[in-house]
């Protein structure tokens, strides 16, 4: 796998920032799960993108054109006692050797040092509004500078939001990034296939979640990119069902929406399988509409098409399919205008995918759905949901929820489905489950 070139990212960002500026970004904080137990630490994606550094209590500072070094890191000091109890810390020397920082200082010294680094710079770039306490802190450092020296011309006059530009950089993936998403998708594929083989009536949804977790970890991906959705029967009609605690019944479907992450890059895959290994007639009819919608939507993924084209195509195929089954009445056009399909398909057909499962980057530019470009990675995930409580639909359709989701790279000429290793044709799924 190619190494990620963090230095190249910093350089590109600093070229855009221009001289006389400074960017300041904090690491993620530890979060309490209960009393003195924390959740697993997950680095802030933007901070990781620019540093590859995986500790809390850190701040990265970028100062384009600074003679004594452009990349400055504030991080925790080495501490033998603390490291014996809680794990290793990189410290300042290794931050320079391993991360390529030009300078590294103890985080406890930041109040003394950072105002000096701002001095004489015209613009401060930071992520406005993400962390209000940190926004306040930046203002205090800036004010401290002018108070101490009583020379207001030495303190930066402009505060500029960094998010938009940084997120546009993150939207277009390099080969090294695609390799990581593809790796995560392949590991998730193994887990989904193991789940399909293990699935049978009488087991519990959480047994299936255990299959996922086990196969993620066994194949090099310890963490899920988001809480797994393992939804049997009518639970599939709760879009983000994560209780995963019900028994799985003969004759129902199981919707699994789950993906692991690799080096913080996410995968995000959904499959809908028959718990007893055979789709019923009604399940099969709805499943085939959903699959046809997904395949047609994926065909829309190519440079020059608009983001919206993917969703519009999926909606069109789903509406026509539901009209054919007499679940929707009227014409395709009527249903589009009245949006009556939203009773059965209420979410969008996908999202960007990367360091965050719902990754960053605008979906619209200048008020228009943006054009797809090579290097973008997105999900294509149409669904059809007919809740048990939906009395407007014939009984035979109720309690069926289906979603089929893949991770798709926009290539120069079209698309590459990164998660293609998980079967999605009915016959292939049934064969695997025998």
Q: Which of 265, 287, 345, 385 is catalytic?
A: 385
Cβ 258 to ligand GLY, closest distance in Å?
Answer: 8
Determine whether 334 is an active site residue. no
Determine whether 103 is an active site residue. no
Comparison of 70 and 261: residue with beta carbon closer to ligand GLY: 261
Which x/- pattern, by CB under 6 A, does the window 364-393 give for ligand GLY?
-----------------x------------
What angle, rounded to 10 degrees, do the helices at 426-433 and 175-198 form?
A: 60
**Residue 234 near which of Mn ion, ligand GLY, none (CB within 5-8 Å, type-dependent):** none
Q: Please, are residues 38 and 57 in contact by the beta-carbon 8 Å criterion?
A: no
Determine whether 257 is an active site residue. yes
**Residue 203 near which of Mn ion, ligand GLY, none (CB within 5-8 Å, type-dependent):** none
Q: Which of 347, 370, 398, 426 is catalytic?
A: 347
Q: Which of 123, 278, 306, 351 is catalytic?
A: 351
209 binds ligand GLY per the rule CB under 6 A:
no
Cβ 107 to ligand GLY, closest distance in Å?
Answer: 34
Determine whether 311 is an active site residue. no
Comparison of 63 and 298: residue with beta carbon closer to ligand GLY: 298
251/261 Cα distance (integer angstroms): 32
C-alpha distance from residue 396 to each of 286, 343, 387, 392 (Å): 11, 17, 11, 12
| Token pair of 363 as six digits | 């979906």
Strands (E) across 334-399 are located at: 364-365, 368-369, 377-380, 383-386
310/382 Cα distance (integer angstroms): 10
Determine whether 316 is an active site residue. no
Q: Could you tell me which residues come within 8 angstroms of residue 75 by beta carbon, excluding any fewer than 6 positions away? A: 53, 55, 57, 58, 89, 90, 91, 92, 95, 104, 106, 107
Determine whether 49 is an active site residue. no
Determine whether 112 is an active site residue. no
Which position among 70, 252, 257, 263 is part of the footprint of Mn ion (CB under 5 A)? 257
Residues in the chain: 434
Cβ 407 to Mn ion, closest distance in Å?
Answer: 8
237/255 Cα distance (integer angstroms): 9
Comparison of 127 and 405: residue with beta carbon closer to ligand GLY: 405
CA 19 to chain centre: 32
Comparison of 335 and 419: residue with beta carbon closer to ligand GLY: 419
Comparing CA positions, the residue from 183, 265, 198, 261 lying closest to residue 230 is 198
User: Which residues of this protein are in contact with ligand GLY, per CB under 6 A?
Assistant: 226, 257, 268, 351, 381, 405
**Which residues are known catalytic residues?**
36, 240, 257, 268, 347, 351, 358, 381, 385, 403, 405
């Amino acid at each position: 796998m190619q190494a990620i070139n963090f230095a190249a990212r910093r350089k590109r960002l600093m070229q855009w920032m221009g001289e006389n500026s400074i960017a300041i970004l904090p690491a993620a904080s530890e979060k309490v799960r209960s009393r003195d137990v924390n959740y697993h630490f997950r680095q802030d994606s933007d901070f990781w993108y620019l540093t590859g550094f995986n500790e809390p209590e850190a701040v990265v500072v970028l100062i384009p054109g600074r003679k004594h070094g452009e990349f400055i890191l504030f991080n925790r000091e080495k501490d033998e006692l603390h490291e014996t109890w809680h794990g290793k810390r990189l410290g300042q020397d290794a931050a320079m050797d391993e991360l390529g920082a030009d300078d590294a200082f103890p985080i406890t010294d930041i109040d003394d040092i950072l105002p000096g680094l701002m001095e004489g710079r015209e613009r401060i770039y930071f992520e406005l509004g993400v962390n209000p306490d940190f926004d306040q802190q930046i203002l205090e450092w800036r004010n401290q500078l002018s108070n101490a020296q009583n020379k207001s011309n030495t303190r930066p006059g402009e505060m500029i939001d960094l998010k938009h530009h940084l997120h546009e950089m993150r939207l277009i993936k390099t080969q090294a990034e695609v390799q990581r998403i593809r790796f995560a998708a392949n590991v998730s594929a193994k887990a989904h296939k193991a789940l399909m083989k293990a699935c049978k009536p009488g087991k519990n949804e959480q047994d299936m979640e255990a299959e996922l977790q086990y196969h993620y970890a066994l194949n090099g991906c310890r963490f899920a990119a988001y809480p797994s959705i393992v939804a049997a029967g009518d639970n599939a009609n709760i879009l983000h069902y994560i209780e995963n605690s019900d028994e799985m019944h003969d004759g129902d479907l199981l919707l699994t929406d789950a993906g692991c992450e690799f080096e913080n890059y996410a995968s995000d895959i959904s499959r809908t399988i028959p718990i007893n290994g055979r789709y019923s007639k009604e399940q099969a009819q709805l499943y085939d509409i959903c699959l046809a919608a997904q395949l047609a939507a994926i065909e829309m993924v190519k440079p020059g098409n608009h983001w919206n084209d993917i969703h519009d195509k999926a909606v069109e195929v789903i509406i026509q399919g539901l009209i054919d089954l007499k679940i929707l009445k009227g014409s395709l056009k009527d249903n589009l205008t009245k949006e009556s399909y939203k009773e059965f398909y209420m979410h969008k057909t996908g999202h960007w995918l990367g360091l965050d499962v719902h990754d960053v980057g605008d979906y619209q530019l200048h008020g228009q759905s943006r054009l797809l470009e090579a290097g973008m990675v997105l999900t294509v995930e149409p669904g059809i949901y007919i809740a048990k409580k939906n009395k407007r639909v014939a009984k035979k359709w109720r309690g069926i929820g289906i979603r089929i989701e893949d991770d798709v790279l926009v290539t120069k000429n079209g698309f590459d489905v990164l998660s293609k290793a998980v079967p999605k044709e009915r016959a292939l799924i049934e064969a695997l489950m025998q």
